[in-house]
Amino acid sequence: MSSIDNDDLIDDSDDGAGAPKVPLSQRAMGAALGARSAPYMDGLNPAQREAVETLNGPVLMLAGAGTGKTKALTTRIAHLLTTGSARTNEILAVTFTNKAAREMKERVAGLLGQTVEGMPWMGTFHSICVKLLRRHAELVGLKTNFTILDTDDQIRLMKQLIAANNIDEKRWPARLLSGVIDNWKNRAWTPETLPSSEAQAFNGRGPELYTQYQDRLKTLNACDFGDLLLHMVTIFQQHDDILAKYQSWFRYILVDEYQDTNVAQYLWLRLLAAGHKNICCVGDDDQSIYGWRGAEVGNILRFEKDFPGAKVVRLEQNYRSTAHILAAASGVIAGNADRLGKELWTEAEGGEKVRLIGHWDGDEEARWVGEEIEAMQSGTRGMAPKSLDDMAILVRASHQMRAFEDRFLTIGLPYRVIGGPRFYERLEIRDAMAYFRLAVSQDDDLAFERIVNTPRRGLGDKAVQTIQMLARTNGVSLVEGARIAVESGAIKGKGGKGLAELVGNLDRWFNQLRAEADTHIEMAEMILEESGYTTMWLNDKTPEAPGRLENLKELVKALESFENLQGFLEHVSLIMDNDTDDAEEKVTIMTLHGAKGLEFPAVFLPGWEDGLFPSQRSMDESGLKGLEEERRLAYVGITRAEEVCTISFAANRRVYGQWQSQLPSRFVDELPEDHVEVLTAPGLYGGGYGGMSGDFGGQSPLEDKASRADAYNSPGWKRMQAQGALRSKPSPNEAKGLVIDATAVSSFTQGDRVFHTKFGYGTVMGIEGDKLDIEFDKAGAKKVVSKFIVPAAQAGDVPF
């Protein structure tokens, strides 16, 4: 059972792609000596080149934000292949996200000028582990066709366990248990190796529940995400022969985002690399923001100790942001101890300072950001007009998005929210998937429980309990239990009829699927139809129903790229993509976490207030470590910006319905003064609001002046005012000559045909000062400053 032949490793049925017909290495061997001049090396800076060319031995590539780490990583792979150091299927390249893996594949292909079909071991930790685990499943008590549970299934299982153990779910919720167990798995602790220090977890019941949970998974022939890694680590640790085989097979190992690895992933990598130690880890300790999920910054900090003699290459030249933005980011991150230390620099000159602005409350902040975005879009800010696609609002917590959504809805500014529930996490998708899972395997008890009464079949708690009892006493699956219930007439009336129909359907689907697996798309549609699931949503009058039906259609469409249902189900649990690339230009709203790895010309960072960012909870729970992670989050946020970075905070914010006065974030204080421009909001520094307290009436966020005064007396606030006071009264934009001279206003009149570089041709509908209301032929109605408008005739337009 532990014999693996190499064909096994070359095979890549999971990816639908076999080993390349002609290994790249053979083709390219001759290029080894000439690698220095290989075209794919063009444009690498010395550090990148070093990271690419140091093929053997451990390498730590410390790649700061925007320093071209993907370029270095992919070029390194191209180099490995071209020099004949490894064949495509001998390189293990691990990422965290499918997106990153895809991008890497594409770019390697691009570098080599051909598609790289044969890189079966380039993928996420999880997808690679699934592949491995399917080969060795029996070693951890699973069958090779085990299913992968998602979080929802996990929680439902835990709920059952908690109830079975007579634990008060109110005081000890399933989510908590799930978190505890996840944590243990992240640290590679099995029920057997769980240290005694954890004995008190979950009211002292944690360890036993962990054991029960794992047993339950085994009987279900299932595992959760954490198990994928954990099982492989266990297998590697207990079976030297298997480990040895993979150690020699994977001749080179590359790891992306190494700072985000948890203990299990770290052990997995260390085991695999122990032989040749040809491991190249890429990461940035300053961008470690997933500690709460088990990531250990320590892994990257310790690399040189783990791999003595490791070559450390620092990528510090930044190709993304202006010098001011980099300096601001550096200034903030300097507050962290225990860094490996990097200093980003750029050849780029000029650029705006990071802009800082305070607001009265969250609504005003949203209003201001909206106006600012419109100004940038039309070019009013004195820069070239920007597309909405080039702007992003990055928030600490998703509830902050709402204020912006509300505001943008009001002013009709198109936006796109990234995050939220993923496609495969939606209720209707999970339900449909449960039907598919049952059609493939009737042993899937969790799937059965999920859909047994969806749509309603008159099967309530009591009926389900009967089925469960029958299944347990006969030692069979729930579907079998249901069959017994039907045959014995244990469930009567409407429910009995409904159950009989369901069982009959399941059998029919199962048989038909076996007979004609290739008609899986029609089958899927049929299953949803015959089960009554589609009808259920058709009859549903709630506003979500049409969207859900739409999603179901999407799901069926997604089947097209798979050969059968089985294959689809195997992959889908690992693919949580939902890239919706709509054509319309939109502002992006997302969390800071979600923005890692992305970049935007203009970035807004609102809500920089102590308690919100850095988050109070983070600091309460993890103390200094938590604060440092928040600071790295700030660093990530600032370094997303290419040209303009705007940080803002509000003096008052509604928190859980209660108005609270907020202090500017301590990170505001940490921004280096020389690289920050304080924008004076008219309402705050001009004293506008101060004299109008009465106007707030009952609406006033703060009723008494004393507490408001407190808000203005915080260290951060004082510092703000001090900075503001250093500036002479004219607004910063005026000082820079960016304000448009109103006297220069145009000679346009209503009805004129005009041209705008971004929006194209249009007709002037109205005039307000220096702003023109223009109805653009393509872009619709826009307010644009006349400075950016030329008469259409000059641009060669043919008037109608």
Partner DNA sequence: AGCCTCCTAATTTTT
Partner DNA sequence: TTAGGAGGCT
Instruction: Choose the stretch contacting DNA; rule: CB under 7 A; options: 297-305, 380-388, 394-402, 762-770.
Output: 394-402
Do the Cβ atoms of 121 and 215 come closer than 8 Å? Answer: no
Residues 469-508 that bind DNA (CB under 7 A): 495
Annotated binding site for ATP: 63-70
Do the Cβ atoms of 618 and 633 come closer than 8 Å? Answer: no
What DSSP string describes 160-195?
HHHHHTT--TTTS-HHHHHHHHHHHHHTT--TTT--
Least CB distance to DNA at residue 178 (A): 10
Instruction: Choose the stretch contacting DNA; rule: CB under 7 A; options: 63-71, 139-147, 547-555, 589-597.
Output: 589-597
Q: At what angle do helices 240-249 and 263-273 cross, to 10 degrees?
A: 70
Please tell me whether residue 593 binds DNA under the rule CB under 7 A. yes
Least CB distance to DNA at residue 422 (A): 6
**Residue 70: active-site member:** yes
Residues 726-755 that bind DNA (CB under 7 A): none
Per CB under 7 A, the list member of 143, 302, 399, 514 interacting with DNA is 399
Strands 354-361 and 676-678, bridge-based pairing: parallel
Residues 223-242 that bind DNA (CB under 7 A): 225
Per CB under 7 A, the list member of 64, 626, 637, 716 interacting with DNA is 626
Annotated binding site: 63-70
The contact pattern for DNA, residues 300-319, with x = CB under 7 A and - = no contact, is --------------------
Least CB distance to DNA at residue 735 (A): 38
Per CB under 7 A, the list member of 97, 441, 519, 693 interacting with DNA is 97
List 12, 256, 296, 390, catalytic entry: 256
Backbone angles phi, psi at 91, to 5 degrees: -105, 125
Please tell me whether residue 120 binds DNA under the rule CB under 7 A. no
Please tell me whether residue 290 binds DNA under the rule CB under 7 A. yes
Least CB distance to DNA at residue 384 (A): 31
Please tell me whether residue 99 binds DNA under the rule CB under 7 A. yes
3-state SS assignment for residue 565: helix
Instruction: Choose the stretch contacting DNA; rule: CB under 7 A; options: 78-86, 131-139, 616-624, 729-737.
Output: 616-624
The contact pattern for DNA, residues 418-437, with x = CB under 7 A and - = no contact, is -x--x---------------
Strand-pair partners of 147: 222
Please tell me whether residue 151 binds DNA under the rule CB under 7 A. yes
CB contact set of 519 (below 8 Å; sequence gap of 6+): none
Token pair belonging to 389: 């696609």
How far from each other are the two terminal CA atoms of the chain, in whole angstroms? 79
Please tell me whether residue 251 binds DNA under the rule CB under 7 A. no
Per CB under 7 A, the list member of 143, 208, 293, 696 interacting with DNA is 293
If the CB atoms of residues 293 and 736 are measured against DNA, the closer one turns out to be 293
Longest dimension (CA), the chain: 91
If the CB atoms of residues 656 and 800 are measured against DNA, the closer one turns out to be 656
3-state SS assignment for residue 645: strand
**Residue 530: active-site member:** no
Please tell me whether residue 576 binds DNA under the rule CB under 7 A. yes
* Residue with tokens 């709509």, as numbered in its chain: 582
Please tell me whether residue 623 binds DNA under the rule CB under 7 A. no
The contact pattern for DNA, residues 154-173, with x = CB under 7 A and - = no contact, is -----x---------xx---
How far is residue 646 CA from its own chain's centroid?
Answer: 23
Please tell me whether residue 203 binds DNA under the rule CB under 7 A. no
If the CB atoms of residues 444 and 630 are measured against DNA, the closer one turns out to be 630
3-state SS assignment for residue 338: coil
**What type of residue is 278?**
N
Instruction: Choose the stretch contacting DNA; rule: CB under 7 A; options: 96-104, 376-384, 468-476, 692-700.
Output: 96-104
Alpha helices (runs of H) in 98-239, residue ranges in sequence order = 98-112, 125-136, 151-164, 174-186, 206-219, 225-238
The Cα–Cα gap between 633 and 17 comes to: 38
List 287, 400, 588, 680, catalytic entry: 287
Please tell me whether residue 266 binds DNA under the rule CB under 7 A. no
Please tell me whether residue 96 binds DNA under the rule CB under 7 A. yes
Write the burial class of residue 368 (CB in 10 Å: 0-12 exposed, 13-18 middle, 19+ buried): buried
Sign (positive or negative) of CA dihedral 78, 82, 84, 89? positive
Q: Residue 614: is the preceding peptide bond cis (ω within 30°)?
A: yes
Q: How many CB atoms lie within 10 A of CB 273?
A: 22
Please tell me whether residue 453 binds DNA under the rule CB under 7 A. yes
If the CB atoms of residues 84 and 458 are measured against DNA, the closer one turns out to be 458
**Residue 69: active-site member:** yes
Per CB under 7 A, the list member of 143, 302, 617, 718 interacting with DNA is 617
**What percent of the residues of the chain are helix, what percent strand, and what percent coil, each to the nearest 5?**
55, 15, 30
Smallest CA-to-CA distance from 662 within 608, 620, 722 is with: 608
Please tell me whether residue 126 binds DNA under the rule CB under 7 A. yes
Alpha helices (runs of H) in 361-426, residue ranges in sequence order = 362-378, 401-411
Per CB under 7 A, the list member of 25, 221, 346, 615 interacting with DNA is 615
Please tell me whether residue 594 binds DNA under the rule CB under 7 A. yes
Instruction: Choose the stretch contacting DNA; rule: CB under 7 A; options: 188-196, 243-251, 459-467, 774-782.
Output: 459-467
Least CB distance to DNA at residue 80 (A): 24
Please tell me whether residue 384 binds DNA under the rule CB under 7 A. no
Please tell me whether residue 257 binds DNA under the rule CB under 7 A. yes
Smallest CA-to-CA distance from 213 within 446, 402, 562, 513 is with: 446
If the CB atoms of residues 290 and 689 are measured against DNA, the closer one turns out to be 290
Please tell me whether residue 618 binds DNA under the rule CB under 7 A. yes
Least CB distance to DNA at residue 89 (A): 20
Do the Cβ atoms of 375 and 547 come closer than 8 Å? Answer: no
List 14, 50, 53, 70, catalytic entry: 70
CB contact set of 581 (below 8 Å; sequence gap of 6+): none
Least CB distance to DNA at residue 560 (A): 21
Helices (H) and strands (E) in the chain, counts: 33, 21
Write the burial class of residue 166 (CB in 10 Å: 0-12 exposed, 13-18 middle, 19+ buried): exposed
List 182, 257, 374, 431, catalytic entry: 257
**Residue 256: active-site member:** yes
* Count of residues interacting with DNA (CB under 7 A): 52
Please tell me whether residue 260 binds DNA under the rule CB under 7 A. yes
Do the Cβ atoms of 748 and 701 come closer than 8 Å? Answer: no
Q: How many CB atoms lie within 10 A of CB 299?
A: 25
**What type of residue is 183?**
N
Query: Alpha-carbon dihedral of residues 109, 113, 118, 122, nearest 10 degrees?
Result: -20
If the CB atoms of residues 628 and 752 are measured against DNA, the closer one turns out to be 628
The Cα–Cα gap between 108 and 336 comes to: 35
Per CB under 7 A, the list member of 397, 490, 517, 739 interacting with DNA is 397
The Cα–Cα gap between 642 and 248 comes to: 43
* Residue with tokens 């999880």, as numbered in its chain: 126
List 640, 653, 708, 787, catalytic entry: 640
Q: Which residues of the shown chain bind DNA in the complex (CB under 7 A)?
A: 96-99, 124, 126-127, 151, 159, 169-170, 225, 257, 260, 290, 292-293, 295, 396-399, 419, 422, 453, 456, 458-463, 495, 574-577, 590-591, 593-594, 596, 615, 617-618, 621, 626, 630, 654, 656-658
Which residues does the annotation mark as catalytic?
Answer: 69-70, 256-257, 287, 640
